[in-house]
Amino acid sequence: MSAETSLCPTETALDLIGGKWKGMILFYLCKEKKRFNQLMRLVPGISQRMLTKQLRDLESNGIIHRKVYPEVPPKVEYSLTPLGKSLKPVVDALEAWGIQYIGEGGAQD
């Protein structure tokens, strides 16, 4: 079921921002706009192809904005749209939860 046809709001949100990479991309874009190579350096383990795909997905869903400056060499910056900025409390809450989880020793049996 796609995000457009899901009746569950949580499923819709996770379809749009879930996965291995989108959370980290959003985390860094919540702080400030970034260029592609900055994101490549900040998101460990992501390939150029995967970063491009994730950015395109987030852009097509209205969460980030891609601005191309008319200069040589081309300069492209990514930033959050107003919809994307509304995710900042969610990203902040996930960060706080992660800090708490790590501080408590993570999952222990």
**Domain presence at residue 15:** no
- Judge whether 92 lies within some domain: yes
Give this prediction's pTM: 0.85
Q: List pLDDT tens digits, range 81-103.
A: 999 999 999 999 999 999 999 98
Classify residue 108: in a domain, yes or no. Answer: no
Long-range contacts of 70-78 (CB under 8 A, 24+ apart): 75/35, 76/35, 76/36, 77/33, 77/34, 77/35, 78/29, 78/33, 78/34, 78/35, 78/36, 78/39
Q: Which domain holds residue 49?
A: 21-101
| Segment 48-77, tens digit of pLDDT | 999 999 999 999 999 999 999 998 888 999
Domain annotation covers residue 7: no
Q: Write down the H helix ranges in 36-87.
A: 36-42, 48-60, 82-85
Q: In total, how many domains does the chain have? A: 1
CATH code of residue 90: 1.10.10.10
